[in-house]
Structure formats: structure tokens, C-alpha cells
Amino acid sequence: MNCTGSCSWKIYVKNGLVTWETQQTDYPRTRPDLPNHEPRGCPRGASYSWYLYSANRLKYPLARKRLIELWREALAQHLDPVLAWDSIMQDPAKTRSYKAARGKGGFVRSSWKELNQLIAAANVWTIKHYGRTASPASRRSRRCRWSPTPRALAIYR
């Protein structure tokens, strides 16, 4: 296992469950005249099994309850997911209701299939509605000067 700090760890498993972790000693020596840096590791890596089995770990996709309710209602009315998303976005009350729920928790369990469909529909709708402004062709039409302001240049004089 490599923790987020990229230190190597040996993970010991018994009956399919991680039982403990020890620091791996597989790093090459930096120079022969320096002491060995082994073992490397931090408390975060040493607590890997806690992260793995913690009740706080996300084990399935979650989405904001109000948004999922709106999405499911819209999909029941429209066969096309993009049209379903459009029906949400074109109704100011619906849009306001799911945006107002941001930052307040209220997540519910969903499925990868449902959320991927929602995300894809939202992306397609955005491209249709606003255009492909992230494409290189659209950047050519914008003139942008990437340089310091004249006041910032004055410090170099």
C-alpha cells in the first residue's frame, strides 16, 4: 500500500481483513556516505487500516437529496436525460431549490449509473446551452495579454 504521502507500507491481511501495517524498507540508498533513510513512514500510513474500515469512509456514491429528487422526477417525465436536466435548469424554482441546499449536508445514497447519467446530461446540456467555450477555436477569438500591470513593471526600473 502506498499512502497519500507515497511512502511504501507492507499490509498484513488475515481472512480478507487488514490486521496491521509495517513500514516497507524498499527504498534505494541515496549515497553510500549517508546513513540509510529506512524506514520511512508517517502516522497516516500507519493508520491505513483505520481509514479502510472507518465509518467515515465513503463506500458508495452520495448526492444531495434535493437534486436527486428533482432528477428522478424529471427522468420520469422525460425519456431523454438531457431533456430531463433541461427541465430542471429551465425552472428557476427547481434550480433555486437544489442550489439552496448546497453546504447543508443532506446527502443520500445513489448509484454510479444514476450519477454518471446525471453528470453526463448536465455536461451535454451545458455544451448545448453555452457552447464549447473551452475549445481551442474559441480561445483564438479572445485577445488576452499575459503580462504584469504597468505598476508592477515599475519595480524593475
Q: Where are the alpha helices (DSSP H) in the chain?
A: 43-46, 48-53, 65-77, 81-89, 92-100, 112-130, 136-140, 150-153
Q: Which residues, at least 6 apart from 3, have a Cβ–Cβ distance to it below 8 Å? A: 9, 41, 42, 44, 45, 48
What is the reported pLDDT for 151? 57
Determine the pLDDT at residue 42.
74
CATH class name, domain 9-53: mainly beta
What pLDDT score was predicted for residue 23?
Answer: 82
Ramachandran angles phi, psi of 24, nearest 5°? -80, 145
- Cell numbers for 86, please give them: 433541461
Question: Based on the number of CB atoms within 10 Å of its own CB, is 64 exposed (0-12), middle (13-18) or buried (19 or more)?
Answer: buried
Sorted by where each begins, the domain ranges of the chain are 9-53, 62-138
Question: What is the reported pLDDT for 92?
Answer: 96
* Mean pLDDT in consecutive groups of 10 residues from the start of the chain, 157 residues: 65 89 79 77 74 83 96 96 97 95 92 96 93 61 55 53
